[in-house]
Amino acid sequence: MRLLIMGAPGAGKGTQAKLIANHYRIPAISTGAIFRANIAAKTPLGMRVQQLISAGEFVPDVITTAVVAKRLLENDALDGWLLDGYPRTTDQVEALDIILEDQRQHFDCVLSLEVDPEVLVERLVKRAEIEGRADDNEETIRRRMEVYREETEPLMNIYRERGLLVSVDGQGSVDEVAERIFAAIDATVDK
């Protein structure tokens, strides 16, 4: 099974991605998590992207796409995966199409987690207190929301037109949302 998960910052993508990955025994691949791990390990990639990420800006497409192309070729991803946080721009949509064409793969559906904007900000402020993510301060949160609306929301239409978009209500407890997602996937994807 190959899936994408999309949603605004704070929609619960990361949390749900881990639960989906466990449930269907596929790796959850998060570009944001890969970048954060590289920043923590002070790798050349980490040094390159650190400032952009802490300002709430996107990492350039060429870098992000190279990271994804390489990650999808790792052994654990050969039979399936869940991509969290990629694609995020229309150019990345095309880049992903090309990566998958090269690998003779395709994905099954795109999960869209829908959450009321006011709830999003509340959740992000809470996450900042708990996790201390450098990009969870108020100014960066605002910028990430703006970038999301401008760059990423249009992707929903692309995938809706392709008949691949599956919208799920992302409000409620983590378990409630997870159950809703599993039901939506099971109703959509042939196993």
Q: Which two tokens stand for residue 33?
A: 């998590």
Examine residue 152 and tell whether it contacts ligand AMP (CB under 6 A): no
Residue 27, preceding bond cis, omega within 30 degrees?
no
Of residues 2, 11, 38, 64, which one binds ligand AMP by CB under 6 A?
Answer: 64
Q: How far apart are CA 92 and CA 98, in angstroms?
A: 10
Pick 74 or 186: Cβ nearer ligand AMP:
74
Closest CA to 79 of 121, 146, 133, 24: 24
Interacting span for ligand AMP (CB under 6 A) from 15-23, 52-60, 71-79, 124-132: 52-60
| b/e code 26-40 from CB counts within 10 Å (16+ = b) | bbbbbbbebbbebbe
Minimum separation from the CB atom of position 8 to ligand AMP (A): 10
Give yes or no for residue 10 binding ligand AMP (CB under 6 A): no
- What strand order describes the sheet that includes 81-84? 28-30, 81-84, 2-7, 109-114, 165-169
Kindly write out the interface string for residues 82-101 of this chain, putting x where it contacts ligand AMP by CB under 6 A and - elsewhere.
---xx-x---x---------
For ligand AMP, which residue of 3, 5, 9, 111 counts as binding (CB under 6 A)?
A: 9
**Token duo for residue 107:** 């994905």
Q: Shortest Cβ distance from residue 189 to ligand AMP (Å)?
A: 23
Catalytic residues: 13, 88, 127, 133, 144
Residues that bind ligand AMP (CB under 6 A): 9, 30-32, 35, 52-53, 56-59, 64, 85-86, 88, 92, 135, 144
